[in-house]
Structure 1
């Protein structure tokens, strides 16, 4: 029954390990005082720990797993907690090779305790390291140890933990399994913020010294936090000391995904600010929506682009509340409907109120004031954000029904993916006056539609290139030539995807792509006084924070609280005519009403 329990427990614990093992493990964990875990050995093994510590006390001829005599439990021996589970794991195939060692910290006299330990190991010969079993289990003896001159008297599976700053070629290196010292010999750092540079250098020098003898190094009594794990990993500590092996392994294994270095810094357009905030007629309105783009996403792009962005030049800014009518946390459908119609609606609803009644959107309303309108997106055109500016449907996933609204819309221009969704509407679009083009250029038609891809567009990391910049530039040129005021919505959809996938690289590259387009739009606004540019988001995605980064190397680390949308306020920036009207903290619906107030101020219906 006990064997069955261990096997079942191991299977449960090893489920996360199977995922962990598929990642690139460029770090090693030391499970400190592992015998105090609820499930000793298997917790460390499931975390992929390379070094597993057990304190041993020789008591009445038995090797008890305990730190002091007062805490001895007769059931907790090195055999019951470690050697038996390992042997059973090897027998059942749960432990294929011993890619770990036991760090045995002797709390009683070294020679007598080792004598009993060696006798105990006779029952486990099949799993022990040796010439005939190069992948077998090694024991590294720590705590009370024999004299270094006696190290060679012990079996080949026994190694020793050397604990001194004095290192030399004369030491018995072939029997030294690692070098360990107290972290407090080097630093008083508590694992928060950053280590003092002099202390960090002292620690780094010792790590390098140990490595010069081709041996691993570990520090006990070290801070046990994410900041500490990352710092020790970057310094090259071979066995990172932790009492939380699962958490440490999960964090360190995700570092390659959570840290991103930008190697393509773009130049920032120097905005003129000549007409910024001017109380003049608004001739054009350009609404730019970074889907899922919160303050952390913007910050990550800033810190990886030489500490500058087109967006962060802007002086008029505010914060937007994003809640939906039926939920604290909005989705893109309700969020974009609020911007497009000025009304709160339920999540999943596009262009309708909570009762399902159609809401007038900005392109429809602005048509009555002589405006032309267009939408550009990196999403499919039936996606929630672009669809909210032409469709009226209670369910965002009903792509075919949503597509049927496009020929009926007041839009003069659309550019985006998802062309396969519109097969039944191609004739209706052409009858509505849309010329369906197959490339960017100087379009002369009255209405233009461009299905850039049959399905979804690739991400920047997958080779999308300058699509959004070219699409926005072509849209601006097309609408400008009409000689009438215009409204243009530009969506960068895949910042949201990066948040959902908890991908730092996707968030940074999509936001930087968006910022390049923002620079192009700011230049247009400077060249066309009376243009109002609004840059915001429908919601934040991922609950993103920035625990660390390095501005000099354009590197940032992101952490994620969620893989979904959050209810946090999102920034809004404005530039050009009446941009000062967008300062403050307000509901997402207010963006629509601010735009319409300006239109009604200067234009007659």
Structure 2
């Protein structure tokens, strides 16, 4: 890649610009949010354009005066005659403006002089005469500024230089009598304040010392930068939070990408809920299992659960439970499962191919839990925040090799043994309404109890909104409604409750969606645990079909209910997912096992206590 770029730079300079902007494009950010200083930018494979494409506001070039020219190098031994401030910076800037690639100059050059200041500046002034049209001035307020660092003239001489030339002040002694109108920024070595290496958290005493200096510089209405500072995500975030104006980095693309996503990756929860304390009176007891409730958090891995925990006063209903295990999620044809294969394993006890709904790897229909349990006198129901043709709910009633064939999947609902369904996607079932009614379903306009044996409720014509977009307590109210419905039937029941949008948050790398959807799910979990305590012959199983996003939690703050999530992917991963159980025989779900084993554990208990 580097060889290709260098070859393009030699023969196709204009093409190079456009390719770099495409390859290195990051989220657009305003300078008020963060500013990057591209340290020793001339050492990048492609100087200037790498920093520019990252949105760097400050770009550093070291200059050595040799034979009357200013060479871009740190020491004399590394001088290359072709690498000058003109060739690496001034000419590309000029070409960029002429071609329209650079629409405005929203950056400055920090010129670090490695040779004697006055002689070097004399040559620099002469060199800049060919680029006066680029430079800042009263007639060009949007022009390019140069900030002189390294070897500099005496502060009392700053005023002898043109208005486009400012200076980098490097002292902790800040007084009102300094020539502030000619000071472009204040820079100091980070080691004057701290020995922190950018891992973990900076010692508080050192952090306060840095913060105080930043505040002091800001009191003079000037910008601050630290050189020799740690160059990591933890460091970038810490400096950003402290208000460093130009965050020093040798990795401008990575730093800009990380900092641009902080607003999405960090979430502070302001809607906390109380946690119900389980009674544990029959938890794990070998008592008859009359009801089975399977709750599936789509995409809900350990990091997603943890993020909700830390955002809710360090406690969840889910994390009160004692019986837990880990589930391996692989599909029949792929290491990383999708929701169709994952849910089919739960519904049928057989692993299948990704995208397949209720069929085996050869496309043959598999009997699912609602169909099988009907033979044991069970009623069954599905509640989801997804559309009812979504992969997870559909796996419990349909048999089709392609999850996206919504119309074909919808046709299976009237043929199912379900007694209750609640979810979105009503428009997909327009042609099935007659069949649903003929099958004995009463289709509700709202969640109001009725004497009917079979009920269906399309909660939305299409997709339901996310929790943060106004879904309200839909999932909680639907679950309470289902309990009332099944209690009236006076028969054992099997209920699936899916929180579908945790997965959506993982795909979108949206921390706010993950946390809010998981917290919504946890409120429902608390209500279900209460139901189990009141109905001790009930088994509750809570798990996920897979993890989504490759989520980790690099930072957080429990007192303020704030978490930062990081993402390895925008897709599913193959990591094991937790399984929690409560109530009758909940201890049977401890251990590490395949997702298909959940079906068989349920069926073993059904066969133990029920007859066909």
Q: 1:56 to 1:24 in 2, by over 3 A?
A: closer
Name the TM-score, length of structure 1 as normaliser. 0.99
Residues in 2 aligned to 1:243 and 1:516: alpha-carbon distance in whole angstroms: 45
Match of 1:118 among 121, 125, 128: 125
CA distance in 1, matches of 2:83, 2:64: 11
2:96 pairs with 89, 107, 117, which one?
89
Q: How many residues align?
A: 605
Matched, 1:282 2:285: no
Which of 314, 324, 335 in structure 1 is aligned with 2:331? 324
Match of 1:258 among 254, 257, 265: 265
Asked whether the 8 Å contact 1:25–1:253 carries over to 2, the reply is no
Question: Residues 23 and 384 of structure 1: is their aligned pair in 2 closer, same or farther, counting only changes over 3 Å?
Answer: farther
Please say if residues 387 and 424 of structure 2, whose CA atoms lie closer than 8 Å, have aligned partners that are also in contact.
yes
**Mapped partners of 2:18, 2:500: distance in 1:** 40
Moved more, 216-225 or 82-91: 82-91
1:396 paired with 2:403, answer yes
1:130 is matched with which residue? 137
> Cα distance, 1:22 vs. partner?
6.0
- Taking the aligned partners of 1:16 and 1:439, their CA distance within structure 2 comes to 50
Shift of 1:24: 7.7
Deviation at 1:443, TM superposition (A): 2.8
The aligned counterpart of 2:611 is 604
Say which SS state the counterpart of residue 261 (structure 2) adopts.
helix
The alignment partner of 2:74 has SS state of coil
Which residue of structure 2 lines up, in the alignment, with residue 407 of structure 1? Answer: 414
Measured after TM superposition, the shift of residue 271 of structure 1 is 1.3
Does the 8 Å CA contact 2:345/2:351 hold for their aligned counterparts? yes
Q: Which residue of the partner structure matches residue 528 of structure 2?
A: 521
CA distance in 2, matches of 1:21, 1:508: 25
- Structure-1 separation of matches of 2:167 and 2:32: 25
2:514 to 500, 507, 514: 507
CA RMSD of aligned residues (A): 1.2
What's the offset of the Cα at 1:2? 7.2
Partner residue of 2:42 out of 21, 35, 45: 35
User: 175-184 vs 1-10, which deviates more?
Assistant: 1-10
DSSP-derived class of the 2:401 partner: coil
Report the counterpart of residue 349 of structure 1 in structure 2: 356
For the residue of structure 2 that corresponds to 1:20, the secondary structure is: coil
Are 2:346 and 1:339 aligned? yes
Corresponding position of 2:544: 537
Cα distance in 1 for residues equivalent to 2:25 and 2:369: 51
In 1: Cα distance, 2:31 partner to 2:497 partner: 38
- Secondary structure in 1 matching 2:27: helix
Counterpart-to-counterpart distance in 2, 1:561 and 1:118: 48
Deviation at 1:505, TM superposition (A): 0.7
TM-score using structure 2 length: 0.97
Q: Which moved more, 1:266-275 or 1:537-546?
A: 266-275
For residue 383 of structure 2, give the secondary structure of its aligned residue in structure 1.
Answer: strand
Residues 423-480 of structure 1: CA deviation (Å, up to 9, x unaligned): 1111111111100001112232100000111111111121111111111110111011
Partner of 1:52: 59
Residue 233 of structure 1: aligned partner: 240
Alignment partner of 2:488 out of 470, 481, 495: 481
Residue-by-residue CA offset, 1:303-340 (whole Å, 9 max, x unaligned)? 11111100011100000000011111101001000000
CA–CA separation in structure 2 for the residues paired with 1:254 and 1:341: 40
Aligned-residue offset at 1:275: 1.3
> What's the offset of the Cα at 1:357?
1.2
Give the direction of change, closer, same or farther, for the CA distance of 1:24–1:385 in structure 2 (3 Å limit).
farther
Contact 1:162 1:178 in 2 (8 A): yes
Unaligned stretches of 5+ residues in structure 2 = 1-7
**Does residue 316 of structure 2 align to residue 315 of structure 1?**
no
Change (3 A) 1:588 1:24: farther
Q: Which residue of 1 aligns with 2:379?
A: 372
- Secondary structure of the structure 2 residue equivalent to 1:27: coil
Match among 458, 468, 472 for residue 465 of structure 1:
472
Query: How far apart, CA to CA, are the structure 1 residues paired with 2:488 and 2:545?
Result: 30
366 and 23 in structure 1: CA distance in 2 versus 1, 3 angstrom threshold = farther
Matched, 1:558 2:565: yes
Instruction: Tell me if structure 2 keeps the 8 A contact 1:28–1:50.
Output: yes
The structure-2 alpha-carbon separation of the partners of 1:25 and 1:296, relative to structure 1 and needing over 3 Å to count, comes to: farther
Distance 2:276 2:265 in 1: 29
2:161 aligns with 154
Cα distance in 1 between the residues matched to 2:466 and 2:586: 31
Q: Tell me, yes or no, if the aligned pair for 1:539 and 1:566 is still in contact at 8 Å.
A: yes
Aligned to 1:198: 205
Determine which of 423, 433, 437 is the counterpart of 2:430. Answer: 423
Structure 1, unmatched stretches of 5+, are none
Distance 1:341 1:2, change over 3 A: closer
Which residues in structure 2 correspond to 1:546-585 (within 5 Å)?
A: 546-585=553-592
Contact 2:325/2:578, CA 8 A, preserved across alignment:
yes
1:432 corresponding residue in structure 2: 439
Instruction: Give the conservation status (yes or no) of the 8 Å contact 1:17–1:48.
Output: no
C-alpha contact 1:269 1:310 (8 A) present in aligned 2: yes
Equivalents in 2 of 1:178, 1:2: separation in Å? 32
CA distance in 2, matches of 1:377, 1:218: 51
Alignment of structure 1 residues 170-209 onto 2, 5 Å: 170-209=177-216
Q: Return 337-346 or 419-428, whichever deviates more.
A: 419-428
Change in Cα spacing, 1:197 to 1:19, as seen in structure 2 (3 Å) is: closer
More deviation, 215-224/476-485: 476-485
What are the superposed Cα offsets for residues 10-42 of structure 1, whole Å, 9 maximum, x if unpaired?
A: 112223676532678600000000000011001
Matched, 1:306 2:313: yes
Question: C-alpha distance in 1, partners of 2:103/2:440?
Answer: 68
Aligned to 2:366: 359
Aligned to 2:126, what secondary structure does the other structure show? helix
Q: In the TM superposition, what is the alpha-carbon distance from 1:98 to its structure 2 partner?
A: 1.3
**Distance of aligned partners of 1:397 and 1:455 in 2 relative to their CA distance in 1, 3 Å threshold:** same
